[in-house]
Structure 1
Amino acid sequence: MQTGSEPDVREDFNLPAPKPGADYLITVLRPEAPPPPEGYPVLYALDGRAVVEQLPEGAMARPGAPVIVAIGYDTERRFASAERARDYTPPDPDGRAVYDTHGRPAGGAAVFHDLITGVILPRAEALVPVDPARRTLWGHSFGGLFVLRSALQPEGAWFSHFVSASPSLWWDDMRYRFAVHAALALGARPSAPLDLHLGGAERERASLPPGEDVKPFIRMRAALPPDSHAELAADLARAGNPGGLTVFPGLSHGEAFGASLRETLRGFAGTGG
């Protein structure tokens, strides 16, 4: 696939995924500039197909551009709903089986995190020189929930920066949201700076898809308090997190995907990653 923003160097590889469902498709994009002596900074980004499609024109030619490891699924769908619900959502804090609102298996974030750090990361970093001290993990929606969980786990130390965009705090009747606040109150803190991003009109411009099968999703999303993300940012700050909350005025949940990706890429320019 050729796009206007595609750099000179792109390498794809596949990995098997649980069935039924699509295999993983990993796209490694290399900046046009030569690598610094210590290696490029690197951005690990979930929903890889959408990330590649929404890269700004000339993104890989900008000063300080990172290697981008776009972690997606080998499907024509921009967002593979069943696969991302399975992989991005957290296990239940009490150990119960977790399913998405369509009754499909979910709660596989711990297993998926191990796949990223144990398989995807070393394979991607064998293709291009990177600085292991400058790894960022980014995700949106369910992906944002995955990033939030990763930042609060001991194994999150693989990364030096986390960006959680529009995390789906409503997930599973907010059980994980409550668990996060309880953990922070007991002294938990992110293993590296964690930034939260949010569209300013996500609630006002929320989609209302028809059908009985989406009613549980609409109900859980509507039950989330309007100030949930600000409350999370405040609790993270009290726990010592140096990151903050960035709100994109007027943007919907879907629009926040591209805005957050662009903001994250801008953060690499002139900062050393």
Structure 2
Amino acid sequence: MTAMPRFVSSTHPLVNAAGREYHLRLWRPAAPRSAQGLRSLLFLDGQWLDDTLSSALAESAPAGLQVASLGYRTGERSVIAPWRAYDYTPAAPGERQCDPRSEDWPCGGADALLAFLRNDVLPLLGAAAGAGSALFGHSYAGLFSLYCRERAPTLFSHIYSASPSLWWYWPRMLTLLEAGHGGAEPRRAGGPPVHLMVGGDERWRPKPASPGLPREPGVSTVPMAQRYCAALRELDAPADLEVFDGQAHGPMLHSAAKHALRQFARSCGGLDFKHESI
């Protein structure tokens, strides 16, 4: 007898106001409660995470939880790199609105992406804003997830920020945090819990990688994450930081995604993750 799948998935093509093409993939329990009763965890960069999430959900049965991923419709890194550098970043300080590591990459699209999530993506999850939807982002998307907390503090119930690109015009994000940013929504006391995850072997370098060329040693990103976490706590915001020993930047995407999935399921209460390896 063939076992029934624990989750069923569906894919929704989306296009933002600028014509950027995405796909939203949803995994819902095969025998769910109503969609309105499901807690949701939205992963950014689904083009790289969908296989990892599918494998995790095939092995586990967290009732009452749906998982979503928003990804570009291509996985080609050379194409996506400048898109991510724009979509996931706020306005840069000063007049030059470009990535600090590549002048050819414009920045400052975070508010547009935030509006896209609010108006086009979250309604497809069937969950009211702030009533159980959590957000996960890695690298530039990790930076964006922290920006979402400042700009729209009631939109997400939890923020999972893995390997956030805090080096981006450092200390820009720290300055925005301490200034309160003047977001579109009033700041909620404490705000949503922020879970920071950083690899112990992650390094920041002033130039992006070039295929076939050696890279300089770089600077650890852990101290920046520690400082940001401390600043959150000084503002009485719930925040924690976990350092993944021996993990470099690339592998952290999948390690942190599985960790966030497990932690969010537990935070929902009574959800059954049967395999600790997930």
Distance 1:241 1:66 in 2: 25
Structure 2 partner of 1:3: none
SS of aligned partner of 2:104: coil
Distance apart, 1:146 and its partner CA: 0.1
* Structure 1 segments unaligned to the other structure (5+ residues): 1-5
Of 154, 157, 171 in structure 1, the residue corresponding to residue 154 of structure 2 is: 157
Report how many aligned residue pairs link the two structures.
255
RMSD across aligned positions (CA) = 3.6
CA distance in 2, matches of 1:230, 1:134: 27
User: Which region of structure 1 is more displaced relative to structure 2, 70-79 or 57-66?
Assistant: 57-66
Secondary structure of 2:39 counterpart: strand
Counterpart code for 2:167: W
Q: Trace 1:49-60 onto structure 2 (pairs within 5 A).
A: 49-55=47-53, 57-59=55-57
TM-score, length basis structure 2: 0.78
Sort the Cα spacing of 1:97 and 1:209 in 2 relative to 1 into closer, same or farther, 3 A: closer
* 2:259 counterpart (255, 259, 263): 263
Matched, 1:110 2:108: no
Conservation of the 8 A alpha-carbon contact between 2:134 and 2:157: yes
Helix, strand or coil at the partner of 1:271: helix
Distance (whole Å) between structure 1 residues aligned to residue 45 and residue 69 of structure 2: 7
Is this contact kept in 2: 1:40–1:130, CA < 8 A? no
Q: CA deviation at 1:12?
A: 1.3
Residue 174 and residue 131 in structure 1: after superposition, are their counterparts in 2 closer, same or farther (change >3 A)?
A: closer
CA distance in 2 between counterparts of 1:16 and 1:26 reads: 10
2: CA distance between counterparts of 1:88 and 1:131? 20
**Deviation (angstroms), 1:270:** 4.0
Q: Where in structure 2 are there 5+ consecutive unaligned residues?
A: 270-278
Aligned: 1:169 with 2:166 = yes
**Structure 1 residues 51 and 25: CA distance shift in structure 2, 3 A:** same
Cα shift readout 1:4-39 (whole Å, capped 9, x = no counterpart):
xx86422212222466x8511111111335227961
Instruction: Give the ranges of 4+ consecutive aligned residues of structure 1 lying more than 6 Å apart after TM superposition.
Output: 204-208
Give the 3 Å change call, closer, same or farther, for CA 228–131 of structure 1 in structure 2.
closer
Contact 1:92 1:98 in 2 (8 A): yes
Deviations 1:116-159 (A, max 9, x none): 0111111332xxx7895111011000000000111112x23111
Q: CA deviation at 1:203?
A: 2.5
TM superposition shift of 1:202: 0.7
